[in-house]
Amino acid sequence: MILRVENLGRRYGDLAALDGVALQLRPGERRALIGPNGAGKSTLLNLVAGAQRPTTGRIHFNDRDVTRIGPARRARLGIGRTHQHPAVYPTLTAMDNVLVGARRPWGRLRPNAREYLATVGLADVAGVRAGSLSHGQRRQLELAMALAGEPALLLLDEPAAGLAPPEVELLAGLLATMPKTVAVLLVEHHLDLVYGFADNVTVLHSGRHVHTGTVAETRRSPEVKAAYAGVTP
């Protein structure tokens, strides 16, 4: 397993944002993580990336216990991520943002940085400061930064949010052609994107795991319908 999460929990005061969640991803697996707002999806990603510390449980990446390892080292070990609210360096150019995202020495990476930018549709704005890019472009840039780190596990938090339809198309194509060496944990409300992409789908509700199954199983699961009842995913 590339990722093994056991009994993972995170409290904020009285609130259990995540409560005893277990999750396993095979190398190269495409897993979607869905659930209503407040279900704990971003919390789970933040815990796996090391941005937050769990209250309970353990996280194993590549059979190594990384629970106490900080986020920068986890990134170097091969855990890449994007955030629900894109985190880019506004005063750096798009190109330099990608170079910062890379683990390899800058000199060797420079030609590749252009390729990563092209992959996400940003070749034309390589020299533009990230702060001047549109919201959608910043989201794409953050994805290029994550890809430049050559992760074995990529955590994507709502990558389609705020994208224009052509940008969503580009993202779907990019996800479809992602190398099979990269396992992906995708948080996304855009269910067409989820069902077109995922091998398996995990559903969270109120911090708890309610379902893991194939796309077909997930579509007909009563637990999933109940979790979403009256809620717009």
Ligand X SMILES: Nc1ncnc2c1ncn2[C@@H]1O[C@H](COP(=O)(O)OP(=O)(O)O)[C@@H](O)[C@H]1O
The residues binding ligand X (CB under 6 A) are 12, 15, 17, 35, 37-43
Residue 39 or 109: the one with the smaller Cβ distance to ligand X is: 39
CA distances from 178 to 91, 116, 197 (A): 29, 12, 11
Amino acid present at 232 = T
Give the distance from CA 99 to its chain's centroid: 19
Alpha carbon distance 92, 129 (integer Å): 5
Segment near Mg ion (CB under 5 A), from 63-71, 80-88, 95-103, 164-172? 80-88
Closest contact distance (angstroms) between CB of 6 and ligand X is 19
**Residue with Cβ nearer ligand X (67 or 206):** 206
Q: Which one, 122 or 154, has the nearer CB to ligand X?
A: 154
Q: Rule CB under 5 A: say whether 52 interacts with Mg ion.
A: no
Cα atoms found within 13 Å of the Cα of residue 184, Cβ hemisphere only:
27
> Binds 106, which of ligand X, Mg ion, none (CB < 5 to 8 A, cut-off by type)?
none
The residue among 175, 159, 4, 154 whose CA lies nearest residue 80 is: 154
Q: Which residue, 28 or 38, has its beta carbon nearer to ligand X?
A: 38
Question: For Mg ion, which is the closer residue by CB, 33 or 113?
Answer: 33
Q: With CB cut-offs between 5 and 8 Å by kind, which of Mg ion, ligand X, none does residue 206 bind?
A: none
- Least CB distance from residue 15 to ligand X, whole Å? 6
**CB of 123 vs Mg ion, minimal distance in Å:** 30
Q: Which is nearer to ligand X, 43 or 140 (CB)?
A: 43
In whole angstroms, the minimum distance from the beta carbon of 213 to ligand X comes to: 19
- Specify the pairing of strand 30-34 against strand 200-205: parallel
Distance CA 34, CA 149 (A): 25
Q: 48 and 185 in contact (C-beta within 8 Å)?
A: yes
Query: What residue is closest to Mg ion based on CB?
Result: 42
Task: Specify the amino acid at residue 7.
Answer: N
- Residue 97, contacted partner among Mg ion, ligand X, none, CB below 5-8 A by kind: none
Rounded CA gap, 19 and 55, in Å? 9
Q: CA-to-CA distance for 101 and 114, rounded, in angstroms?
A: 13
Closest CA to 30 of 179, 150, 211: 179
Considering only 29, 42, 117, 186, the residue that binds Mg ion (CB under 5 A) is: 42
Residues that bind Mg ion (CB under 5 A): 41-42, 84
